[in-house]
């Protein structure tokens, strides 16, 4: 573990900054669930732990912001694929009721 931490610290990409101190992901998610009345999404927990407490719109570092932008782009791509599959399925079944 110590070697892995040392390697991560020395890497070119640097360590991951977050604002959750030593609180685990699951503890943060549980606290958020209590506050908002439902389970938070992974994106919501990520935003909570990688943005400034005083300004939740400001990421703690560029790497966190890039990660979130990539995540948003992937979610949009998946939603577009899902929408296209549903539309194709609807087109495929619309003609079958004419028999």
Q: What is the pLDDT of residues 8-54, one digit of tens each?
A: 555 555 556 666 667 898 999 999 999 999 999 999 999 999 999 89
Tell me which residue range forms the domain holding 36. Answer: 23-94
**Predicted confidence (pLDDT) at residue 5 exceeds the cutoff of 90:** no
Is residue 18 in some structural domain?
no
Please report which confidence band the pLDDT of residue 3 belongs to, taking 50, 70 and 90 as the band edges: confident
- Does some domain include residue 99? no
Average pLDDT of the chain, as a whole number: 84
Higher pLDDT, 96 or 2: 2
Contact 50, 44 (CB under 8 A): no
Does residue 30 belong to any structural domain of this protein? yes
Which burial class, exposed, middle or buried, applies to 93 when counting CB atoms under 10 A from its CB (0-12, 13-18, 19+)? exposed
How much is the pTM?
0.65
- When comparing pLDDT for 95 and 18, which is higher? 18
Residue 2 lies in a domain: no
Domain-embedded: residue 16: no
Nearest Cα residue to 59 out of 47, 69, 71? 47
Query: How many angstroms separate the Cα of 74 from the Cα of each of 30, 57, 59, 77?
Result: 26, 20, 19, 5
Task: Tell me the helix, strand and coil percentages in the chain, rounded to 5.
Answer: 70, 0, 30
Residue the block writes with tokens 């990660």: 67
Q: Number of structural domains, the chain?
A: 1
Percentage of the residues of the chain whose pLDDT score is greater than 90? 61
Q: What is the mean pLDDT of residues 50-72?
A: 92
How far apart CA 33 and CA 85 sit, in angstroms, is 32
Decide: residue 98, CB within 10 A, 0-12 exposed, 13-18 middle, 19+ buried.
exposed
């Amino acid at each position: 573990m110590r070697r892995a931490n040392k390697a991560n610290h020395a890497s070119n990409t640097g360590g991951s900054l977050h604002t959750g101190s030593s609180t685990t992901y699951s503890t943060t998610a549980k606290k958020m669930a209590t506050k908002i009345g439902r389970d938070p999404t992974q994106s919501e927990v990520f935003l909570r732990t990688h943005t400034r407490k005083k300004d939740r719109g400001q990421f703690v570092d560029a790497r966190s912001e890039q990660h979130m932008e990539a995540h948003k782009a992937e979610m949009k791509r998946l939603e577009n694929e899902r929408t296209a599959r549903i539309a194709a399925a609807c087109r495929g079944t619309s003609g079958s009721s004419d028999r």
